[in-house]
Amino acid sequence: MTTTEAGSEASVPSTEDGGVRVVGSLSPSRAGDFMTCPLLYRFRVIDKLPERPSAAAARGTLVHAVLERLFDLPTGGRTVAAALELLGPQWERLLEAEPELAGLFAGEGGDAERAEWLEQARRMVERYFTLEDPRRLEPAERELFVETVLDSGLKLRGYIDRVDVAPSGDVRIVDYKTGTAPRADFEARALFQMKFYALVLWHLQGRVPRLLQLMYLGNGEVLRYEPDEADLRATQRKVEALWEAIRRAMDTGEWRPRTSRLCDWCDHKERCPQFGGTPPPLPVVPVRRPSPADLESAARERDDL
Ligand code: SF4
């Protein structure tokens, strides 16, 4: 599932975590934003500009919620019909949590659009059952929040859709995608998010996950990959290099726009210089006055020298 944990990456916290000074944090989605377009990262993470809810994203959230809840049912009850029955209640629950989603189908022709949107969600749920039989597996974790701090002080975090553990202890990381499988030349990009999760689990558990599995519910394809330690070390080098690039952009204030076909879906096109817009001034980060406790601790550190 796509994640939206923007925010903490913007600041450079200096908290302690397990004895390591945390210098920042990164999730796969935000790392992906920076790789796509540094200016997009800035708009989302630094400026925290709101974005319009999209029907495609809402459908993704709905289908993910259904597939997560499906495993609450007793094993034998995990049928297509049962999953489809979850669509209505899960949509109501999402609307309750995010009432602005109701506006997606508020315009003229909204009822027909909503029906088509729901039909596509139904097809995705049905397609899931052509890829695996949920009655034959028991996930170890669903919607698992994971985080770890690298020796460099960079915190990696994110939500994993599903983790399966075989009797042998082998771990499989599963992610559902409501789009279609990427072309071969874009597979590496798709796998980056999965290797990111594998890296976090490797740090947490000391064991390299055996399999990364991306399930594309848009066209019913599955992308599988068996990572090894060399892969995960390379992923770690990549995320640390990315973080360095983000830090440089923070220091210099230079967030370069990078155009691609994704610009057509970018919510910030009107303020993007590539399309004649002007970005807003960078927000001023408030400087916090040191508290008496901070001063005391600084004095102690000086004494320790
Ligand atoms: S329109 Fe394109 S180049 Fe501009 S911020 Fe959005 S993604 Fe980046």
Predicted local distance difference test score (pLDDT) of residue 15: 59
Output the CA 277–ligand 1 centroid distance in Å: 10
Distance of alpha carbon 178 from alpha carbon 220, whole angstroms: 10
Q: Is the pLDDT of residue 4 over 60?
A: no
Output the CA 266–ligand 1 centroid distance in Å: 6
Residue type, 150: L
For 72-123, the pLDDT digits (tens) are 999 999 999 999 999 999 999 999 999 888 888 888 788 899 899 999 999 9
User: Please, what is the average pLDDT of the chain?
Assistant: 88
- Tokens linked to 91: 């949509």
Say if CB 78 and CB 66 are below 8 A apart.
no
Q: Is the pLDDT of residue 295 over 70?
A: no
Predicted local distance difference test score (pLDDT) of residue 176: 97
Share of the chain above pLDDT 90, in %: 75
Distance of alpha carbon 126 from alpha carbon 130, whole angstroms: 7
Say if CB 173 and CB 201 are below 8 A apart.
yes
Which strand (E) or helix (H) includes residue 24?
Answer: strand 24-26
Atom of ligand 1 nearest to the CA of 260: 2
Ligand 1: lining residues by beta carbon, under 6 Å: 37, 39-40, 257-259, 262-263, 266, 268-269, 272, 274-275
Q: Is the pLDDT of residue 58 over 90?
A: yes
For 194-251, the pLDDT digits (tens) are 999 999 999 999 999 999 999 999 999 999 999 999 999 999 999 999 999 999 999 9
The answer to which of 99-103, 151-155, 157-161 has the lowest mean pLDDT is 99-103
Domain locations along the chain: 3-27+140-286, 55-136
